[in-house]
Amino acid sequence: MSFSIRRFGRLLLRELAHSYRGLLIAMAAVAGGVIVVSAIGALAMSAGGAPVGTVRGDGYFGFYQNLLFLGGFIITSLAFREVWQAGSGIAYLTLPGSLFEKFVVKLLLTSVGFAAGTLVFVSAVAAASEGLDRLLFGVGHGFFNPFTPAVLQAVVRYVVLQSFFLLGSIWFRKLAFVKTALWIVLFGIALAIVSTIALRIGLASHFAAAPGSFGGLRLGGWAFDLNGTGLQELFKPGARGYRGAMAFKTAAEALVIALAPASWVAAYFRLGEAEV
């Protein structure tokens, strides 16, 4: 497993050179769409009698999350597309550089690289859009703050989930995004079933049989009902079973986070198989 900064830099520049035109077009289209939609919303606020200086919205955080996750997953699922294309696959695999260098370039660009670029892009677009809205209509949706805990949490979640699509991009020859998303849904269903069983066993004292329920577990609205108490109540400090619920939550989160490096390792070896 060799690594050369010089070869790595050249591979990185190659990736940027091959994708910058399409990326600039996509950025311009997204920025234009955000500015137009935001202006329409500001116009509606102003026409509705909102006082000058009114700020109503989430500061473009919702837009940031949509772009980070949906855009990032799509781009990641295309990371190794050229490996499976006739002609270009051989050209890519024979480029000067080790297998490890090629993999790290793709990993960095689609994970922390995309997340950092999205932060800068959304900050600039939000500033321009908000400034225009306040100048024309006197109202706005709030400026985007890239340094809030919610933004950091979104980046961490993206880096973890992105690993699955990176594995899918080299594992599936066609329709990598769709197939990876399908497998994630199936895995989520299986994990939910296992988690429910684990909760039933680990927190058995909180379940009581009731008419029309399955083993005392009743589904009320969108929350599980345990002895008349929503499942979320177990995660409040001081609640009976709080420690057990938190231990279960921590274990589940650790499992999902551990799947990220496992997916990277699997993707690396899968790339090696393609090279052979």
Which domain does 146 fall in, by range? 5-157
Instruction: Determine which of 45-49, 164-168, 236-240 has the lowest per-residue pLDDT on average.
Output: 236-240
Residue 139 lies in a domain: yes
Residue 95 lies in a domain: yes
| Confidence at 219, pLDDT banded by 50, 70, 90 | very low
User: How many structural domains are present in the chain?
Assistant: 1
Instruction: Determine which of 28-37, 56-65, 249-258 has the lowest per-residue pLDDT on average.
Output: 249-258
Residue 91 lies in a domain: yes
Amino acid, single-letter form, for residue 50: A
Name residues whose C-beta falls within 8 Å of residue 91's C-beta, 6 or more positions apart in sequence: none
Residue 86 lies in a domain: yes
What does the pLDDT look like over 164-200, one tens digit per residue? 999 999 998 888 999 999 998 998 888 778 777 776 6
Residue 124 lies in a domain: yes
Residue 194 lies in a domain: no
- pTM score over 0.85: no
* Residue 106, pLDDT score: 92
* Residue 193, pLDDT score: 82
Cβ atoms of 68 and 160 closer than 8 Å: no
Cβ atoms of 62 and 126 closer than 8 Å: no
* Most confident residue range from 70-79, 202-211, 226-235: 70-79
d(CA 73, CA 227): 40
Residue 236 lies in a domain: no
Residue 166 lies in a domain: no
